[in-house]
């Protein structure tokens, strides 16, 4: 097969255009570097999403036939993509979400924008498990500050008397007022000593850096036509393009990083999905931000005499310490919210309040390390596909005391009574989800499957992953907490409480879509593929700028940390360039 | 960016509203909203949008005419029209279920088999298939499968079918324009969020004094 070579030598080739790749492209081009970005999916403009679409505008009413989060969701892709398989070993249940489009998963994420706190970088020192980071909160804080100011995030600094000292202050736009039911949750949680606080989402409640404020349609996941929330194509790609230094190549599926005799990177080869031809781009440095596991795949697939185990993988640590957030959920029917008063309760596309981790595991003598935060939502949302599903399992619970003894004649049903029941119960359900920190393990990893390739002949990943008792016990704590809150609100938890046989409802790894850690940073080249600036120990002109460098996956969603680290790595790359070290 | 210095009024234009309609709420307007910020508006284009693939599915037929009669009769019985709103049939639910059978073929066997089961039961009890039974006979049949908590064990397959069918009807009805209006869902429009109305707060026994230490947007 003929390989088409582009003769331009770029300063940097960035693989991926999501949070990490977009930030690298912006920072590098604004510093004057000529940058080429390879994106595996098509172009995407947030203004073209399905915002304001009613379910009846589609014959499938938003059903998730083609997209896992429903047909109006902005993410092109999913856990299963035709022609792009991956495999698992033994009873591994890992599921790998990919979003193939400009901006990747930033187009549909929950906009939950949390900084990791000081303790998150020092977990081993605290509980003896896993490893500490080679950097501290003070190293990353200036970058979090810059990300807050650049992107815009609403929230509030928490009252100091709550002693939530692992939840750093930020530079916030004012948060939206809580919805009434969110205050009801707070009222109950105040009694349970669980803090319910203004959430921190990258949605603009004031005009910010040329982008207008939110218009409160609650559909952030469909992408925003006014660019009032954060996505890479709304916030990072346009300023990079404005410099004139950005070359963007879409539908470009990276195959491997090319290296010379000295083992230094010289560019990247890729398949153009439009014509199925092989291409190469030359660059003086390469930044991998392809989404953690895809970055590991690229490194492992880039083998040469100088890098026999894969690019910068003499440690054998590329692919190791794969993590995802823990996740478990429960919903409750709240009789006080039944027969609700009609009003527009949409608000922003997400929760206005949430609960950060509130317990000191040691002092409280919990039987698991690390914590979780709670996200919650419900109320009078736009009805969508699946609305009132399994109604027959709860419409007999007209009040909490009917839980043990629902009226069999009234559960399920049909006709006028059912129709009125639906209306009575609409808006009376609140769902709670825990998102927690796992303990990183050497034995959770991805590797190249020796026997399988994707449709372009690129060897695919094989996953090895098992939750440990730490994560399972954490999920049990989540379930007990959710039940306590729901019952405290006078409500009835729906469905059966998941027990030990179901790992307390702990979702399969990969399902929270926070997979990180497969090229973790560290000072010791034998234990970590990249240094504290996310620069490859074994190949000094290769950097990672996505979630792959994370040493721990805190009880906070990783995007804000990916953005901050990508900015920091990009500034370091510029500095090293100026000093002639790269 | 091109749209620098944009204000909220402009942003509503970008979204494509042709009208900045006046008050739409019947409740909740007593809050301190000013005329400037009170710009509730509808998305004016709510027509059906069909992709080529969807058109192809629409042209295929899954249910036989006899099955469609049963599906329609069941839909009308599950969510009937009343003096407040149309029912599942008026909301296009039978057509929605027909589409979903082709869009997600994994439902086909359970659906077709369930309709057969229903006809077989009606033949046994009333000597004719469900669609040809009188309304009283149809209701007598549904009474045996619509209440999982009290149904007889020999009806379990019918109960499962009906639970599933009821869920399809609920989605079909409540994702329709009629159903959304019946529920009084009032969102999916550009607005300025200023908190929940006082009467909603009062109903739940909460107040913004609970969070008075924060400055909100």
DSSP B141-154: HHHHHS-TTT--GG
The pLDDT value recorded for residue B13 is 44
CA A347, CA B200: separation in Å to the nearest integer?
A: 15
Nearest chain B residue to A237 by CA distance is: B1
> Is the Cβ pair A227, B1 closer than 8 Å?
yes
- The shortest C-alpha distance from B81 to chain A (Å) reads 8
Return the DSSP state at A344: -
Q: Identify whether the C-beta of residue B154 lies closer than 8 Å to the C-beta of residue B125.
A: no
CA A566, CA A546: separation in Å to the nearest integer?
A: 7
Q: Identify whether the C-beta of residue A176 lies closer than 8 Å to the C-beta of residue B193.
A: yes
Q: Where residue B45 falls among pLDDT bands split at 50, 70, 90? A: confident
Size of interface A-B (CB pairs under 8 A): 281
Q: Please determine, for residue B141, whether its predicted confidence score (pLDDT) is greater than 50.
A: yes
Largest CA distance in chain A: 80
Find which of A182, A226, A344, A421 to mutate to test the B interface (most B CBs within 10 Å of its CB).
A344
The pLDDT value recorded for residue B41 is 34
The pLDDT value recorded for residue A409 is 62
A354 has which bridge partners? A197
The pLDDT value recorded for residue B46 is 84
**Which chain A residues are within 8 Å of B105, Cβ to Cβ?**
none
| Tens of pLDDT, residues B107-140 | 999 999 999 999 999 999 999 999 999 999 999 9
**Which chain A residues are within 8 Å of B5, Cβ to Cβ?**
210
Q: Where is A460: in which H helix or E strand? A: strand A459-464
Q: Please determine, for residue B30, whether its predicted confidence score (pLDDT) is greater than 60.
A: no
Instruction: Report yes or no for ipTM above 0.95.
Output: no
Task: Report the percent of chain B where pLDDT is more than 90.
Answer: 76
Q: Identify whether the C-beta of residue A569 lies closer than 8 Å to the C-beta of residue A521.
A: no
**Which chain A residues are within 8 Å of B180, Cβ to Cβ?**
54, 56, 382-383
Q: Where residue B25 falls among pLDDT bands split at 50, 70, 90? A: very low
Q: Please determine, for residue B48, whether its predicted confidence score (pLDDT) is greater than 50.
A: yes
Per-residue pLDDT of chain A (582 residues; tens, 9 = 90+): 578 888 899 999 999 999 999 999 999 999 999 999 999 999 999 888 899 999 999 999 999 999 999 999 998 899 999 999 999 999 999 999 999 999 999 999 999 999 999 999 999 999 999 999 999 999 999 999 999 999 999 999 999 999 999 999 999 999 999 999 999 999 999 999 999 999 999 999 999 999 999 999 999 999 999 999 999 999 999 999 999 999 999 999 999 999 999 999 999 999 999 999 999 999 999 999 999 999 999 999 999 999 999 999 999 999 999 999 999 999 999 999 999 999 999 999 999 999 999 999 999 999 999 999 999 999 999 999 999 999 998 887 754 344 445 565 678 999 999 999 999 999 999 999 999 999 999 999 999 999 999 999 999 999 999 999 999 999 999 999 999 999 999 999 999 999 999 999 999 999 999 999 999 999 999 999 999 999 999 999 999 999 999 999 999 999 999 999 999 999 999 999 999 998
Q: Which long-range contacts (CB under 8 A, 24 or more apart) does B79-82 make?
A: B79/A418, B79/A419, B79/A422, B79/B169, B79/B170, B79/B173, B80/A415, B80/A416, B80/A419, B82/A416, B82/A419
- The shortest C-alpha distance from A178 to chain B (Å) reads 6
**Which chain B residues are within 8 Å of A238, Cβ to Cβ?**
1
Q: Looking at A191-347, which runs of residues are DSSP E strands?
A: 197-198, 246-249, 252-259, 265-272, 278-288, 326-333
Select from B1, B149, B172 the Cβ nearest to the Cβ of A408: B149
> Is the Cβ pair A61, B186 closer than 8 Å?
no
> Is the Cβ pair A59, B183 closer than 8 Å?
no
Q: Is B15 on the interface with A (CB under 8 A)?
A: yes
Backbone angle region of A147, left / alpha / beta, with phi > 0 → left and psi within -120 to 50 → alpha: alpha
> Is the Cβ pair B14, A65 closer than 8 Å?
no
> Is the Cβ pair A345, B77 closer than 8 Å?
no
**Which chain B residues are within 8 Å of A382, Cβ to Cβ?**
180, 185, 187-188
The pLDDT value recorded for residue B32 is 36
- The shortest C-alpha distance from A406 to chain B (Å) reads 9
The pLDDT value recorded for residue B60 is 97
The tally of CA atoms less than 13 A away on the side-chain side of residue B121 is 23
A333 has which bridge partners? A429, A492
The pLDDT value recorded for residue A405 is 52
Q: Where residue B15 falls among pLDDT bands split at 50, 70, 90? A: very low
Select from A175, A212, A217 the Cβ nearest to the Cβ of B8: A212
Q: Is B23 on the interface with A (CB under 8 A)?
A: no
Q: Is B101 on the interface with A (CB under 8 A)?
A: no
pTM for the model: 0.93
The pLDDT value recorded for residue A1 is 59
Find which of A53, A54, A428 to mutate to test the B interface (most B CBs within 10 Å of its CB).
A54
Nearest chain B residue to A59 by CA distance is: B96
Return the DSSP state at A514: -
* Mean pLDDT to the nearest integer, B187-195: 96
């Amino acid at each position: 097969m003929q390989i088409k070579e582009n003769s331009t030598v770029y300063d940097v080739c960035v693989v991926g255009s999501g949070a990490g790749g977009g930030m690298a492209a912006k920072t590098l081009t604004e510093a004057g570097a000529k940058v080429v970005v390879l994106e595996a999916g098509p172009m995407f403009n947030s203004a073209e999403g399905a915002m304001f679409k009613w379910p009846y505008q589609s014959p499938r009413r938003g059903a998730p036939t083609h997209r896992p989060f429903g047909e109006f969701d902005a993410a092109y892709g999913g856990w299963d993509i035709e022609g792009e398989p991956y495999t698992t070993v033994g009873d591994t249940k890992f599921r790998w979400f990919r979003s193939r489009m400009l901006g990747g998963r930033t187009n549909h994420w929950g906009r939950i924008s949390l900084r990791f706190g000081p303790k998150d970088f020092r977990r081993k020192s605290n509980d003896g498990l896993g490893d500490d980071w080679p950097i501290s909160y003070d190293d990353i804080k200036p970058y979090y500050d810059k990300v807050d100011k650049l992107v815009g995030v609403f929230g509030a600094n928490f009252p100091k008397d709550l002693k939530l000292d692992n939840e750093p202050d930020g530079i916030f736009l004012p948060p939206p007022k809580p919805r009434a039911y969110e205050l009801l949750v707070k009222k109950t949680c105040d009694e349970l000593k669980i803090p319910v606080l203004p959430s921190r989402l990258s949605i603009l409640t004031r005009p910010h850096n040329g982008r207008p404020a939110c218009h409160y349609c609650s559909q952030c996941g469909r992408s925003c036509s006014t660019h009032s929330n954060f996505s890479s194509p709304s916030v990072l790609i346009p300023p990079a393009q404005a410099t004139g230094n950005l070359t963007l190549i879409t539908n470009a599926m990276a195959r491997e990083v090319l290296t010379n005799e000295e083992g230094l990177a010289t560019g990247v080869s890729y398949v153009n999905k439009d014509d199925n031809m092989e291409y190469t781009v030359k660059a003086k440095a390469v930044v991998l931000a392809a989404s953690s596991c895809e970055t590991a795949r690229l490194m492992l697939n880039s083998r040469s005499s100088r890098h026999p185990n894969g690019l910068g993988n003499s440690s054998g640590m590329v692919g190791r310490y794969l993590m995802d957030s823990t996740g478990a959920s429960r919903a409750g029917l709240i009789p006080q919210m039944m027969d609700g008063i009609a009003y527009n309760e949409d608000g922003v596309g997400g929760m206005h309040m949430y609960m950060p981790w509130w317990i000191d595991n040691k002092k409280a003598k919990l039987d698991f390390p690390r914590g979780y935060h709670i996200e919650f939502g419900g109320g009078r949302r736009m009805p969508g596909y699946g609305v009132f599903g399994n109604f027959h399992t709860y419409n007999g619970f007209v009040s909490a005391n009917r839980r043990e003894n629902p009226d069999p004649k009234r559960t399920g049903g049909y006709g006028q009574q059912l129709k009125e029941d639906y209306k009575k119960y609409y808006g009376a359900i609140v769902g709670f989800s825990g998102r927690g920190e796992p303990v990183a393990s050497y034995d959770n990893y991805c590797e190249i499957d020796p026997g399988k390739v994707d449709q372009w002949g690129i060897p695919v990943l094989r996953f090895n992953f098992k939750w440990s008792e730490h994560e399972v016990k954490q999920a049990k704590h989540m379930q007990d907490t959710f039940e306590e809150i729901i019952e405290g609100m006078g409500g009835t938890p729906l469905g059966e409480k998941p027990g030990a046989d179901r790992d307390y409802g702990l979702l399969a790894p990969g399902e929270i879509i926070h997979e990180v850690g497969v090229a973790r940073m560290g000072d010791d080249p034998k234990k970590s593929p990249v240094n504290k600036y996310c620069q490859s120990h074994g190949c000094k002109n290769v950097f990672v700028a996505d979630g792959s460098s994370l040493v721990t996956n805190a009880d906070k969603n990783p995007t804000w940390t990916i953005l901050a680290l990508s900015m920091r790595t990009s500034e370091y790359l510029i500095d090293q360039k100026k000093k002639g070290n790269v | 960016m091109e749209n620098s210095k944009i204000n909220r009024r402009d942003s509503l234009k970008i979204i494509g509203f042709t009208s900045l309609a006046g008050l739409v709420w019947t409740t909740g307007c007593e809050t301190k909203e000013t005329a400037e910020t009170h710009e509730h508006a509808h998305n004016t284009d709510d027509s059906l949008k069909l992709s080529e693939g969807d058109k192809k599915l629409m042209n295929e037929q899954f249910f036989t005419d006899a099955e469609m009669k049963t599906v329609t009769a069941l839909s009308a019985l599950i969510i009937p029209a009343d003096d407040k709103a149309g029912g599942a049939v008026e909301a296009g639910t039978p057509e929605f279920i027909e589409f979903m059978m082709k869009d997600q073929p994994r439902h086909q066997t359970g659906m077709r088999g369930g309709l057969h089961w229903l006809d077989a039961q009606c033949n046994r009890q009333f000597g004719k298939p469900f669609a040809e039974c009188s309304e009283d006979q149809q209701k007598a049949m549904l009474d045996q499968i619509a209440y999982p908590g009290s149904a007889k064990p020999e009806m379990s397959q019918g109960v499962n079918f009906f639970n599933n069918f009821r869920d399809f009807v609920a989605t079909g009805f409540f994702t329709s324009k009629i159903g959304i209006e019946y529920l009084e869902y009032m969102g999916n429009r550009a607005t300025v969020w200023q908190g929940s109305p006082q009467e909603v707060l009062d109903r739940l026994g909460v107040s913004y004094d609970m969070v008075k230490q924060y400055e909100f947007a």
